[in-house]
Amino acid sequence: MPAPMVHPVLKNGVGAFIPQCRRLVFHYCERSGSSRGMIEYLKKDLIQFAKEHPHVEVIVTPRPSKHPVIRGLYLNGKDKVVCVRNMEPTDIAGKVALLKESAGNRMKVFKKPVISTTESVRGIWSPFHAAPHKI
């Protein structure tokens, strides 16, 4: 019987930090007007971004007759797609930064300020180990 898959418990940031975004794919259309800002961004700002982030693989591919799109691929295998139709280069740079700083997880509501998997340090209260109450 083959051995079951063992998934390591990953704690990114404790020993070493590994950036989670590994690829950004830029799709644009040569002809359509909604890609105008995207083409300007690709010419002006993208090379600088790629130099500053060598861990991110940057791919630029024409996708004719479609709106311009940025697709980010992450280390957990998931991807995030952002449509940047009719956006200016500064707005597109903002979307690129958003994708670069994310980690591939779903967007969720953070209800608690601290997310912890360690057991409580002081232990769980038990009536047999607490000072008896006095009336």
Partner 1 sequence: MLRSFTSRMVGAAQRTNSAVTASAVRLFSATSTASQATSTSSTASSSTPSTTPSTDAQISLLRNQLKYYAVAEIKNRPYLITKNDIIVLDRLKDVKLGDVIELNQIKELGSKDYAIQGAPYVSSEYYSIKATVIEQPKGKIVETFKKKRRKHFQRRYHIKPLHTLLRVSELEVKA
Near partner 1 in 50-109, by CB under 8 A:
98, 100-103, 105, 107-109
Asked if 114 is part of the footprint of partner 1 (rule: CB under 8 A), the reply reads yes
Q: Considering beta carbons, is residue 65 or 126 the nearer one to partner 1?
A: 126
* Contact with partner 1 (CB under 8 A) among 6, 130, 133, 135: 130
* Contact with partner 1 (CB under 8 A) among 3, 5, 11, 77: 11
Q: How many CB atoms lie within 10 A of CB 74?
A: 18
Minimum distance from residue 113 beta carbon to partner 1 (Å): 6
Angle separating helix axes 89-101 and 36-44, nearest 10 degrees: 70
Instruction: Quickly tell me which residue has 């779903």 as its tokens.
Output: 106
